[in-house]
């Protein structure tokens, strides 16, 4: 039996059988353990952790309550911050396009959006131009 992991509430389970008198495959769905769901890898812009880039020496990046420069400040990140998690970007970046893109293309996609981030419990929005994926898949 092979488990196909997914972030969806139901987990697909497939049984592959090969032989002249047996079906090629059968499938069923079973409820997924919520504890397992949190350990699954992300995809697209949500896949890697990020570090900051383009933050001038001696400056901090302001984290905002919403995706506009005029919104309230909720905190700031040091220039050397890493392990920044992206929760969402606006406008949305198409996950498959992001996955298939080169590092430079990913940076270009991020340059035109605001991203909702989490950094050790501080959640807010930053311009995507300041984010750099740590893992380049």
CATH class of the 44-133 domain in this structure: mainly beta
Under 8 Å between Cβ of 134 and 53:
no
Q: pLDDT per residue over 22-41, tens digit each?
A: 444 444 444 445 444 444 45
pLDDT tens per residue, range 77-131: 999 999 999 999 999 999 889 889 999 999 999 999 999 999 999 999 999 999 9
Domain ranges for the chain: 2-37, 44-133
Q: Is residue 75 helix, strand or coil? A: strand
- pLDDT per residue over 38-86, tens digit each? 444 566 677 778 999 999 999 999 999 999 999 999 999 999 999 999 9
Do 2 and 14 touch, CB atoms closer than 8 A? yes
Any idea what DSSP says for residue 55?
A: P
């Amino acid at each position: 039996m092979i488990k196909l992991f997914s972030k969806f509430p139901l987990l697909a389970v497939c049984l592959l059988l090969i032989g002249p008198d047996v079906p090629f495959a059968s499938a069923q769905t079973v409820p997924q353990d919520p504890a397992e769901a949190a350990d699954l890898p992300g995809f697209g812009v949500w896949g890697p952790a990020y570090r900051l880039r383009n933050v001038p020496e001696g400056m901090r990046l302001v984290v905002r309550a919403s995706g506009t420069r005029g919104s309230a400040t909720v905190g700031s990140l040091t220039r050397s911050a890493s392990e920044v998690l992206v929760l969402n970007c606006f406008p949305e970046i198409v996950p498959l396009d992001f996955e298939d893109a080169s590092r430079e293309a990913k940076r270009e996609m991020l340059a035109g959006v605001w991203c909702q981030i989490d950094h050790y419990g501080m959640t807010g929005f930053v311009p995507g131009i300041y984010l750099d994926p740590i893992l380049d898949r």
